[in-house]
Structure 1
Amino acid sequence: MQIKAVAFDTGGTVLDWHSGVRDAFAAIGRSHGVERDWGAIANQYRRLAMRSIVGQCQPSFNMDDVHFRVLNEIFESYGLQAFSNEDQRRIAQAWHKLSAWGDFADPLREIRSLYPVVSFTMLPLSLVVDVSRLNGISWDAVISCEAIGYYKPDPRAYLQASKWLGIEPSEILMVACHNFDLNAARACGFQTAFVRRPNEWGCEPPPDPIPNPDCDFALDNFEGLFTAVRSQVEPTSL
């Protein structure tokens, strides 16, 4: 099994979106003297946003637009009429300030010493640039579905990423904590690695915690991913 590049899903797999978004809601709630179950609200917000972007073909909007627009429904559903347009903007901007999972940065540097590493994501380019700079993450490239025009799990997204990298799908290892992403990548010929993120949804268990047995690797953390990837390197290239 030959690997020539490693592609990472970014929202959820690399970034702790739940904590960042929950805390943004909580901070604004405190400023208005409003108490809610902010973790549950953050999760519903995420669900609605994902429903609005997954599988989109040539949309006139990106994930930033969705993150802003969906808040109208969240505010109405949870009785948050006290939240202003500026509050809405601040919550949407919280996505650009997310922290990466603590086990990611060091293994990524180690993996990058062996292979090119790319963020392959439904998130907008500007968001990935912001969070990467904030967390000290260096990619060889960022491939956003925003630029491709087709959003995962549309096969055209995976095949275009492979074309842009100039690498056969079978030579790319796709890394994610979501089976829908990995199943679609594998159907396009990619190798796949499921990395568990049990705390992705914070106060709730992840909706998709069990890796498809067809994955090439199923791992508990990114250090395990580095070990698995390193095992595939030809001895003469180490």
Structure 2
Amino acid sequence: MHLVFDVNETLLDTGALDPLFKRWFGTDAARSEWFLTLQETWMTANLVGEFEPFADLARSALRQLGAKHGVAIAVGDEQELVEAILSLPAHADSAAALAQLREHGHTLTALTNSALKAAHRQLDNAGLSGYFDAILSVESVGRYKPSPEPYRHAASHWGVATAELIMIAAHGWDLIGANAAGLRTGFIARPGKAMDPQLGDVPDWQDDDLARLVQRAVAQ
């Protein structure tokens, strides 16, 4: 079975960035605000048809947050954030869940909005890269998730229909995009994340433990 995993927040814990945001803004809650701003930035890039590297968008979102709160953001701060993103630790349940899937012969793909080189470095640093049969980035199609092109790219990579893929993510927008492209979906309820209970067919499975979630997804 083909399982496709989002990376940031799904497998990697962005909570590790909290100390940076507390230093800059006086509260680690600013990290969530920054990530929402980052999402808005790449959604806008999709809408206007202009693709920019993920790291540039991350820097831009930090500058926007600084301007909003009257905090001066230096170039060094931007680079410190980018380096910290590349060094995010894995969530406690990520490795065991991926190992379980590999042991049972499933095909695992990482599909991320991060740049390809950055994604490899992220997963290497987190000790997860060895579990994946393929690591794919949206930069190959010049469109960020939740546009359909990244999900179709994953299917094309393996020469299968999108209906043969299961997308696992901690973001409702990611799973809505995957579902619209024909994938089945599994929602991992990371802290602070929730799905609209009235969405109906999205997701097919959900849990707050990754191992349980993937067990349910493949036990069909």
State the match for 2:157 in structure 1.
164
1:192-231 to structure 2, matched below 5 A, reads 192-197=185-190, 199=191, 205-206=192-193, 208=195, 210=197, 212-214=199-201, 215-231=203-219
Change (3 A) 1:95 1:222: same
State the match for 1:25 in structure 2.
21
State which of 148, 151, 166 in structure 1 corresponds to 2:141. Answer: 148
Q: State the one-letter code of the partner of 1:147.
A: S
Aligned residue pair count: 214
The answer to whether the 8 Å contact 2:93/2:209 transfers is: yes
Distance 1:195 1:22 in 2: 21
Distance 1:43 1:219 in 2: 21
Distance 1:210 1:162 in 2: 28
Task: Return the offset for 1:227.
Answer: 2.0
Q: Deviations over 1:197-233 (max 9, x none)?
A: 1x2xxxxx4364758441321222111023224423x
Q: State the structure with more CA Rg.
A: 1
Task: Return the offset for 1:64.
Answer: 0.6
Report 1 or 2 for greater relative contact order, CA contacts < 8 Å, sequence distance ≥ 6. Answer: 1
State the match for 2:37 in structure 1.
48
Distance 2:214 2:41 in 1: 33
Distance 2:70 2:52 in 1: 27
Identity %: 23
Q: State the one-letter code of the partner of 1:44.
A: E
State the match for 1:235 in structure 2.
none
Unaligned runs of 5+ in 2: none
Unaligned runs of 5+ in 1: 200-204, 233-238
Q: Deviations over 1:5-51 (max 9, x none)?
A: 1001111211111x22212234xx3xxxx7711x2211121111111
Q: State the one-letter code of the partner of 1:22.
A: D
Distance 2:93 2:172 in 1: 21
Distance 2:87 2:109 in 1: 20
Q: TM-score, normalised by structure 2?
A: 0.87
State the match for 1:67 in structure 2.
58
Q: How large is the RMSD of aligned CA atoms in angstroms? A: 2.2
State the match for 2:122 in structure 1.
131
Task: Return the offset for 1:126.
Answer: 2.3
